[in-house]
Structure 1
Amino acid sequence: MPQIVGADRESDIDMPGLTVTPLSLEPWWPRTVEEWIARRLHRCCGLVEQVPAEQGSEPDRFPWLLTGTVIGHSLDLEPLVAQFRPLARIHRSVLEEAARLFEQQFAPSTPTSE
């Protein structure tokens, strides 16, 4: 049986890996590396802000830069990583800078009218 290291809170299902947001630059991306990273980390900013107080807050919960083996995908189609190795903690100031760059460089998404 695989080691359980993650969980999907909505469905209350244990998962055999951590869900991650890949930072690897895609070859089709026409803009700067900084904009790519800001766009990807912007997702982490929202995740950090959504952490309920009873589950802890910084410095107990924060995103990591890590490497590992992709073993599948979560229910939200995010990569699941096992055999991971943390490389660095992503400080809140980095997430805040990513959010600022995201807001400067990207148009806000708007709902489509039906």
Structure 2
Amino acid sequence: MSTTANMPTLSSLDELTRLVTRRQGLYVRWSRGPERDLRGVSSTDDLTGVKLPGLSASPLDLEDWWGKRPLHVWVARRLYDYCHLPRVKDPRTRPWLLHGSETARGPDNEPLVTDVEPLGWIADHVIDEACRIITGQPGDWGPLDRDGAT
């Protein structure tokens, strides 16, 4: 069986938040999945075409500066930041959870991760929940959509 076929699906933001409290080194990767990504364990810089020394991913480890704010809002924000990718990059792009080791930083200062252990897909309704939480927060927390596509 393939890596993708064996992966469970995380079905709630609470479930993902509990994992973040129990384990360091968790990341969210938005792509077509580990089956494809683990062939070379490398992302490519879209602007220059340079092959990077790891997979670009969003870290889920809580930062000290977050203080006593709700952890589920932290996790929701990490999911929300790149929720535009299926729309602007490839509709087959999906979020998945992984454990890995940061090896470098990419051109947008994002972590580049190696020693990747795929842990699970993140269900679409979890992303919807994250979006509702973040858009309900005060201030402008728009996703990191540089193209401005809607």
Task: State whether TM-score is above 0.5.
Answer: yes
The structure having more radius of gyration, on CA atoms, is 1
Gaps of 5+ in 2: 1-39, 143-150
In structure 2, the partner of 1:43 is 81
Structure 1: gaps (5+ residues): none
Partner SS for 1:44 = coil
Aligned match of 2:98 in 46, 66, 87? 66
Match of 1:90 in 2: 122
Report the equivalent of 2:60: 23
TM-superposed CA distance for 1:4, in Å, is 5.5
**Structure of higher RCO (CA pairs closer than 8 Å, 6+ residues apart):** 2
* Cα drift, residue 66 of structure 1: 0.3
CA RMSD of aligned residues (A): 1.8
Matched-pair contact (CA < 8 Å) for 1:35–1:105: no
- Deviation per CA, 1:62-95: give whole Å up to 9, x if none: 1111011110000000000011011011122111
Aligned residue pairs: how many?
102
Percent identity between the aligned chains?
A: 35
The alignment partner of 1:48 has SS state of helix
The answer (yes or no) to whether the contact 1:4–1:14 under 8 Å persists in 2 is no
Aligned partners of 2:75, 2:41: CA distance in 1, in Å? 29
In the alignment, which of 43, 47, 70 is matched to residue 10 of structure 1?
A: 47
Aligned CA distance change for structure 1 residues 109 and 32 (closer, same or farther; 3 Å)? closer
The offset of 1:47, in angstroms, is: 2.2
Say if 1:77 and 1:4 are closer, same or farther in 2 by CA, change over 3 A.
Answer: same
